Copies of this chain bind each other. A is one copy, B any other.
Amino acid sequence: MQFRSSDIDTMDTHRRAAFVNSLSGFKSANLVGTANAQGHTNVAIMSSAVHLGSTPPLLALVIRPGEEARHTLNNILDTGCYSLNHVTPDIIEQAHQTAARYPADVSEFAATGLTPVWVEEFGAPMVAEAGIKLGLCLREHQVLAINGTHLIIGEVVLADVPSAWILEEGAVDLSLANSVALSGLDTYWQARALKRMAYAKPDVPPRALTGSDRPEKHAP
């Protein structure tokens, strides 16, 4: 079925949100940990992390105004730091529950049963129960004129990843890390690796790597 702009525009608000949120495909499922200047903690589920570059290591987050994430946004802007923590199957319920509109004086850590953990020389709490844990420093903030969403660009200054999860060429194996994916607004997925592909070259047919292969270069 072909949905055109007029079909999407005339959908009921909740239906349109569910539909459009599922169109981009699978997304990351991260818990964003912050604290305010007084050390009061906050944690919020987000699926909008996107890789911007590796030198320096930069990730962007899209945060919509007026949503449950407003305390997170304020804390990031106030303190300049935040953590990104991969959701695993064991904490899906708690992670999703952080999206509830708790009052500002309630920490979602306490409300959902997740455990804040502080790492030396980093000013935001991480989530003890999560898999991969990242610490980021705010590098750029802008409000996108087109719809008022906030673009938060941060540099990864800390990555807590057991070495057993790191593959020979440097990538983290997300199945060993037990990371889950998110789709739409509410569905959590476990992933099974289908293929790791060799670096693509114009004059060489595509080739899936086996466990013993080591890619020469990176792509895409």
Contact = CB atoms under 8 A, between A and B. Distances in A.
Contacts of A179: 25-26
A23 interface: yes
Given A54-B16, A220-B99, A189 B200 contact: no
Given A53-B147, A59-B24, A192 B190 contact: yes
Given A62-B51, A97-B200, A206-B97, A158 B189 contact: no
A115 interface: no
A105 interface: no
Interface residues of A, number: 127
Contacts of A86: 25
Interface stretch (A33-41, A75-83, A88-96): A88-96
A162 B22 CA distance: 14
